[in-house]
């Protein structure tokens, strides 16, 4: 069994449709993980939890900080975490506030 190449994966990438954008986040994660496991083509998977958090968390942090117009206190309130936790996570992912 051959593993899918990055060229194969790139060929399948398309712009999201309106329907895609209206899907609940959990459905999007489920679809992405199903595709990930399918693309493994018999190869083993490991550390999926860390992989998913490493993709989702920085995107969430950046989006919320942008929504809060760079106000870290407000972003932390929106996220339901302390400002110090937000700052730690921003540093962890190398996210800079403009």
**Residues forming CATH 1.10.10.60 domain(s) in the chain:** 47-98
- What distances in angstroms separate CA 40 from CA 35, 49, 54, one per listed residue? 9, 16, 19
Q: Write out pLDDT tens, residues 57-88.
A: 999 999 999 999 999 999 999 999 999 999 99
The residues, any chain, with a CB within 8 Å of residue 70's CB and separated by 6 or more, are: 97, 98
Q: Write out pLDDT tens, residues 21-51.
A: 788 989 999 999 999 999 998 899 999 999 9
CATH pick for 47-98 out of 1.10.10.60, 1.20.120.1200, 3.40.430.10, 1.20.1250.20: 1.10.10.60
Structure token pair of residue 20: 């895609």
């Amino acid at each position: 069994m051959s593993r899918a190449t990055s060229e194969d994966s790139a060929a399948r990438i398309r712009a999201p449709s309106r329907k895609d954008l209206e899907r609940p986040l959990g459905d999007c994660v489920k679809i992405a993980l199903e595709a990930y496991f399918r693309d493994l083509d018999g190869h083993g998977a490991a550390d999926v939890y860390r992989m998913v958090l490493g993709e989702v968390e920085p995107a969430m942090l950046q989006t919320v900080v942008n929504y809060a117009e760079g106000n870290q206190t407000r972003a932390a309130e929106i996220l339901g975490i302390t400002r110090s936790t937000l700052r730690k996570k921003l540093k962890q992912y190398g996210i800079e506030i403009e």
